[in-house]
Chain A
């Protein structure tokens, strides 16, 4: 059986009619009890299981996924990775995630195609430029790479920008270490590596309720039977309120639909990620050649993974204002994911009022970039009962003390 992935194993299996590959992960059936259960087979849940096994040697662990792994936001996002946050707490956390991403393909032995092609934020007026300058300074103070350019500098580095846009381009901020990765590969890579360490990946299994005895977590009730466990970590993104409510926990979370679109595949025409907060669009080109675009939230509660027409129009209009030559391309696909928005756009990684239940949520529109760190810190919580130093500021208590970390205001829209 071929376990490790490499050019050499591809060569051997090529000669062996591809007969020796093992499934990337074991499709496990639920056991009656585990040391720990992680709810949600998105990036955060799978990474949590992997780091529980790897960092904490806790391998009697199950990941329970209602549908298929990566079928939630992890497989629906626009794959932008960056750490250009404003406050020191967020900057440290997201930069840790980025640094884990930098070594992740080798760590997981799975090519997640992390492509550090740079992430640009454009400014269209003097005030926008002031904001970028403030961001750049904050980033540099936090030890994160940042480069600020005027219009000529931007145009020299992003060929093809509209010469006469409706909103003039006056400058831009770039984080060169930012970029994109293949989203499904992140889910599959973590699943494979966790499974290899002994974690059970259980798909098509929905958590329907909890067994709380004497006020403490004792197990989960699922569509495939009851599973006893004293430790439950949940990372269910847009369904956080729904699942938490089954344990009697209420959250400061709202679920909204966020859309993405991709064009048909074309030859390379855009070599970086471009975001314009003012225009409400961002775009990159995937390795397959599709232009990948995102837009804003439909700002009313939704659990329908559909998306709507107004944002599609706005995103297309924004793209064409930045790159008018793309107006003859056509959208190939469109979809939406349900994102978990909290008031300050900062995640929650914390214990809940129910002992034995820990939570990871509040990623809103930008938790893909955080997956390695989100999993690392939730694993730390589940294994030790203590918050990881990097996540100490991301508690539920901040809503009571007022110590919000308002990245929504400080670093503009997420992604």
Chain B
């Protein structure tokens, strides 16, 4: 058994039911869902197949970092290939289909590649297909490659370009970005705050700890209101900063109408912004790292922080019987939150041998702790059924826990992509960063993002 919708909680609008189609069948979700959260809520865990061996793949994350939930949206001239289910906001009448499966997700003939995988190792194609000639083989390899399907008809939608100038552009509206925008706005300079998600808040949307003496939700609400009331602040939601070019030029991609049902879309679908900025503040947060172990791509394996997002935003539990594998404290917060929501946490496997206060909290709730161990292999066919583990120093399995979901947290990677693309160097002092950029919050390696703004 897999994910389901909890009776209460989340920021979804339970009064507005939304009907959608996935893989030819009809389902229901709520306004405020993403396609991914609605699929999980309907108990669907298999959403795609891997590129080469067509291994079953499930939702792994909740946002832009999703690697597996790649779908084809809509049909005919309005179709869009390769969108991430975690970034598609649900609207009434939405139609989505899996990509690169034949004839179906559950029974995919190309999964036969798995059977011969020992003969087609990485880069095998450089080693063969030379006789009689590459052109004998190329057409069928081309047909097997590619994910979704490009539209065959001209695009029915309109698009727009815009130029803008701003003193300060803040990329990312998590705690650090919001605090930076607020502080900058105080001085009267023009500020733009861009956020790829439909809502501001980033990690604050899932935060359980109080912020500056109030609940994270209350802090976020107040801060958003304060920003909105300032005439020198422009807030762009559903907007991705995709490039950091010379002399403070940032390219933005704004999705204006994609979240609306087609009959309610008026004007342009998307907008390209070219913004020349005095200062760019990168407050792009961090992504959680996965864990390496055998079959860690089985459906049911998910990032711990993503499970928390599904819980706190959409009131969706990723499974009924959860094991957590971690090497840091952050996954304990997730475990406790799921436990408090009435979901069974069967074990926390922690690679550390000594763990601080968070372990005591877990033990208080009678959650089994397996310390000094790491996952070795996930088992199951189309979904994880158990995970075996071993002491960190060896690969000899010392035990196994049954589960329908394994949440992993291998630590956090700062989101430095824009910083690096701009020509600056992320982790070294060899190349100084650019005079027109600064980095705040988690990308700077600073966990206590709010604290920095007090400085």
Q: Do A and B come from one complex?
A: yes
Q: Nearest Cβ in chain B — how far from A391, in angstroms? A: 28
User: By the criterion CB–CB under 8 Å, are B155 and A325 in contact?
Assistant: yes
A138 to B119, CA, bound (A): 48
Q: Tell whether A287 pairs with B138 under 8 Å between CB atoms, given A309-B274, A328-B80.
A: yes
Q: What is the CA–CA distance of A266 and B308 in the complex, to the nearest angstrom?
A: 32
Given known A267-B143, A287-B138, contact A10–B120 (CB-CB < 8 A): yes
A105, A162, A185, A288: the one contacting B145 at CB < 8 Å is A288
Shortest distance in angstroms between B5's beta carbon and chain A's nearest beta carbon?
31
Residues from chain A with a CB closer than 8 A to the CB of B249 are 309
Is A99 in the interface zone, CB < 8 Å from B? no
A289 to B120, CA, bound (A): 19
Task: Judge whether A225 is part of the interface by a CB distance below 8 angstroms.
Answer: no
B121 / chain A contacts, CB cutoff of 8 Å = 10, 13-14, 18
- Taking a contact as CB atoms under 8 Å apart, the answer to whether B423 and A10 are in contact is no
What residues on A are CB-neighbors of B116 within 8 Å? 14
Given A114-B134, A287-B141, A309-B249, do A267 and B79 touch, yes or no (CB 8 Å)? no
B154 within 8 A of A: yes
B151 on interface, CB distance cutoff 8 Å: yes
**Residues from 363 to 381 in B contacting A, C-beta threshold 8 Å:** none
Q: Which of A1-9, A64-72, A242-250, A338-346 contacts B (4 or more CB under 8 A)?
A: A1-9
**Given A267-B149, A308-B245, also A115-B143 (CB < 8 A):** no
- B135 CB within 8 Å of chain A: yes
The tally of residues in A whose CB lies under 8 Å from a CB in B reads 50
For A115, the closest partner residue in chain B by CB is B138
Known interface pairs A10-B128, A289-B145, A309-B274. Does A266 touch B150 (Cβ–Cβ under 8 Å)? yes
Inter-subunit contact A325/B138 (CB<8 Å)? no
Q: Is B125 an interface residue (CB 8 A)?
A: yes
Residue interface mask A281-293, B partner, CB < 8 A = 1: 0000001110000
Question: CA separation between A16 and B61, bound complex, in Å?
Answer: 37
The answer to whether residues A326 and B150 also contact, given A10-B120, A116-B135 and a CB cut-off of 8 A, is: yes
B162 CB within 8 Å of chain A = no
Least CB separation from A316: chain B residue: B272
Q: How far is the CA of A185 from the CA of B121 in the complex (A)?
A: 16
State whether the Cβ of A55 lies closer than 8 Å to any Cβ in chain B: no
Chain A residues near B27 (CB-CB < 8 A): none
Choose among B77, B138, B147 the residue that contacts A265 (Cβ–Cβ < 8 A): B147
Q: Check if B292 is an interface residue, CB within 8 A of chain A.
A: no
Q: Separation in Å of the A166 CB from the closest CB of chain B?
A: 13
Min CB distance A237 to B, Å, is 20
Q: Tell me which residues from 144 to 173 in chain B have a Cβ below 8 Å from any Cβ of chain A.
A: 145-155, 159
Tell me which residues across on chain B come within 8 A of A324, comparing CB atoms: 154-155
Interface residue B81 (Cβ < 8 Å from any Cβ of A) = yes
Asked whether, in the complex, the Cβ of A264 is within 8 Å of the Cβ of B155, the reply is no
| Contact in complex: A268, B130 (CB < 8 Å) | no
Find chain A residues with CB under 8 A from B251 CB. 309
With contacts A6-B127, A10-B124 taken as known, whether A269 is within 8 angstroms of B150 at the C-beta atoms is: yes
In the complex, the answer to whether B146 meets A265 with C-beta atoms within 8 Å is yes
Size band of the interface chain B makes with A: 35 or more
A111 on the B face (CB < 8 A): yes
Task: Say whether B151 contacts A325, CB under 8 Å.
Answer: yes
Question: Nearest chain B CB to A177's CB is how many angstroms away?
Answer: 12
Interface residues of B in 338-367 (CB under 8 A from A): none
Q: How far is the CA of A288 from the CA of B272 in the complex (A)?
A: 28
Closest to A18 in B: B121
Q: Would you call A111 and B81 a contact (CB within 8 A)?
A: no
Q: Is A190 an interface residue (CB 8 A)?
A: no
Cβ-based interface call for A363 (8 A): no
A323–B135 Cα distance when bound, in Å, is 26
Q: Tell whether, in the assembled complex, residue A265 and residue B423 are in contact, meaning their CB atoms are under 8 Å apart.
A: no
B146 touches A113 (CB 8 A): no
Residue pair A113, B423 in contact (C-beta under 8 Å): no
- Which residue in B51, B130, B246, B423 is a CB contact (below 8 Å) of A111? B130
Q: Take A14-B119, A308-B246, A309-B251 as given contacts and tell me if A6 and B128 are in contact as well, using a CB distance cutoff of 8 Å.
A: yes
Chain A interface residues toward B at CB < 8 A? 5-7, 9-11, 13-15, 17-18, 105-106, 109-111, 113-116, 160, 162, 182, 185, 188-189, 264-269, 287-289, 304, 306, 308-309, 312-313, 320, 324-330, 334
Known: A6-B127, A6-B128, A14-B116. 12 other contacts (CB 8 A): A5-B126, A10-B121, A110-B130, A111-B130, A114-B134, A265-B51, A265-B145, A267-B149, A287-B141, A308-B245, A324-B154, A325-B155
A-B contact pairs, 8 of them (CB 8 A): A5-B128, A10-B120, A105-B130, A287-B138, A306-B246, A325-B77, A325-B150, A328-B81
The 8 residue pairs across chains A and B that have the minimum distance between CB atoms = A289-B146, A14-B119, A5-B127, A324-B154, A267-B146, A327-B155, A14-B118, A266-B150
